[in-house]
Amino acid sequence: MRIFPLVVFIGFIGTYPVAAQEAVPSTMTLEDALRIARENSPAYLQSLNDAAVRDWEVREARTQLLLPQASASSSLSWQGSGEQQLGSITLGDLGLGGLPSYYFSSYRVGLSYQLSGATLLAPGRASAGRDVTRARIRMSESELVTRVTNGYLEVLRQQEGLYLAERQLESARLNLRLAQGRLEVGAVTPIDVGQAEVQVGRAEVGVLQAENALATGRMRLLQWMGVPVGQEVELSTSFDLTEPLWDVDELYELALRTNPSLEAGRRSLDEADIGVRIARSEYLPTVSLSAGISGFTREASSTSLQIAQAQGQIAGLVDRCVSTNDLYSRLADPLPPIDCAQFVFTDAQRQAIIDGNDQFPFAFQSSPPSASLTVSIPIFQGFRRQRQLEAARVQRDDARHQVREQELALRADLSIGLANVRTAYQSALLEDRNQSLAEQQVRLARERYQVGAITFVELMDAETVKVQADRDRIGAIFAYHDTVTTLEALVGATLRN
């Protein structure tokens, strides 16, 4: 038995960008709706964004394990002129008062590397976390598929409901014409016509309500697809009513491989297991390596103090030279005097001081390079590590119990879901037979009413039974498809062709 969907027109809703409207084909299958939903659903796109973060976490963990960290820094500073204090004394007490202002610059380039148990296990933990995120993305996709499929079926259900309401209205109008015809020949009283008119009015209300239900279903489908549409779209996918021949054991084996919620639980268990190993690795030593080079510059705003100090040094040499010559002349056997004229502050020395001061900001003087190796062995940390280890074990055990609980629930839900599908299938077959019998009864009742064998009330009773049979048939057919959709969500795979 096949449900042939009628044309569903999705009208213009608000004013939206043209690009969003062109993304929807004029004839939309269920596969088209699911593809559009995957491309536009905000909730699903949010879950996809988490994958990029997890990918970078894996890269970061691997890089920290394989490569050292490198850093480079540079600084510029200025120090004003004036008196400076060194503890309880000043530079003036040391004869260095009146210092000028200075400009400083420096740089440092360094490498560092740290190896620990957490660093060794970090790539595995990051990979497990990425697997958890991917499984959760599949969960989000499965929820989106279920929601859009149900919305698609709901639109078709309401379309069928509108079709039935319109048929009921046509039937009511036909009964009204029959009553009016029999009234003209005096075969019935005006009461029959009044009852027929009431029946037409009720049918018109039913059409109005069915149109509103269909419009609501359309808007919900658009919402779940994540795309506002401003064009007419025809839903073209048809759904067959086929006997469910699936076996619960086969469905369970398939669900163990494809159910996204169970997959997420298993990946969380893997991540928790690595967390236990990382907590246990806190008892292992940590090795740290570092190396670096650096340099600096210093430039005074004025070289007057440096030149004065150099001149003072030359004057001190001259004074010592004169004193030495005077001592030599007082000896019993005088020594030859030293030439004190050699101690002279020259222009070349003055220029050398000026040139040597011209360093800021890039004439760096290199500092000695440095390197270090540190091995840290934790001994006692107040039971912090043991507490973390026990907490990680509890988290892993909880994750294991949750996976077991999911497996048990999945087996029970599949058994119940398959039983519901089989019941819905048998109910649909019975309701189809009931609808055929009710239709025959209406035709027979209408013929008997035309010859005056039954009253109009009896005709209306047959019509009521027929309307209810039509609704029950459509409800049973779509209830079957709803249960199949639920079963597919449990399995995590498509079961319908």
The model's pLDDT over 128-162, given as tens digits with 9 standing for 90+, comes to: 999 999 999 999 999 999 999 999 999 999 999 99
For the entire predicted model, the pTM comes to 0.74
Section 326-350 average pLDDT? 85
pLDDT given at position 7:
36
Mean pLDDT for the chain overall: 86
* pLDDT higher than threshold 70 for residue 61: yes
pLDDT classification of 97: cutoffs 50, 70, 90? low
* pLDDT higher than threshold 60 for residue 5: no
Cis peptide before 361 (omega within 30 of 0): yes
Helix 190-225 with 117-184: angle, nearest 10 deg: 160
* pLDDT higher than threshold 80 for residue 20: no
* Position with higher pLDDT, 187 vs 34: 34
Q: E-assigned strands of 258-362?
A: 286-300
pLDDT given at position 23:
58
pLDDT given at position 94:
55
pLDDT classification of 73: cutoffs 50, 70, 90? very high
Choose the weakest-confidence range: 304-308, 418-422, 438-442.
Answer: 304-308
* pLDDT higher than threshold 60 for residue 283: yes
> Among residues of the chain, what percentage have pLDDT more than 90?
52
* pLDDT higher than threshold 80 for residue 210: yes
pLDDT given at position 158:
92
pLDDT given at position 12:
33
What H or E segment, with its residue span, contains residue 78? strand 69-79
Domains located in the chain, CATH noted = 2-65+119-285+382-491 (1.20.1600.10)
Q: Are 122 and 61 in contact (CB under 8 A)?
A: yes
pLDDT given at position 92:
59
* pLDDT higher than threshold 60 for residue 8: no
pLDDT classification of 230: cutoffs 50, 70, 90? low
pLDDT given at position 6:
35
pLDDT given at position 96:
58
* pLDDT higher than threshold 50 for residue 385: yes
pLDDT digits (tens, 9 = 90+) for 408-430: 999 999 999 999 999 999 999 99
Please state, in angstroms and rounded to a whole number, the distance separating the CA atoms of residues 321 and 337: 9
* pLDDT higher than threshold 90 for residue 497: no
pLDDT given at position 14:
36
pLDDT given at position 201:
93
Section 109-120 average pLDDT? 93
* pLDDT higher than threshold 60 for residue 17: no
pLDDT given at position 87:
62
CA distance readout (Å), 223 to 179, 217, 482: 46, 10, 19
pLDDT given at position 496:
83
pLDDT classification of 13: cutoffs 50, 70, 90? very low
Q: What's the distance, CA 361 to chain centroid? A: 48
Q: Are 257 and 335 in contact (CB under 8 A)?
A: no
* pLDDT higher than threshold 70 for residue 15: no
Interior CA angle at 324 toward 321 and 325, to 5°? 90
Query: Residues in the chain, how many?
Result: 497
CB within 8 A of 134, min separation 6: which ones? 51, 54, 267
* Region of residue 258 (phi > 0: left; psi between -120 and 50: alpha; otherwise: beta): alpha
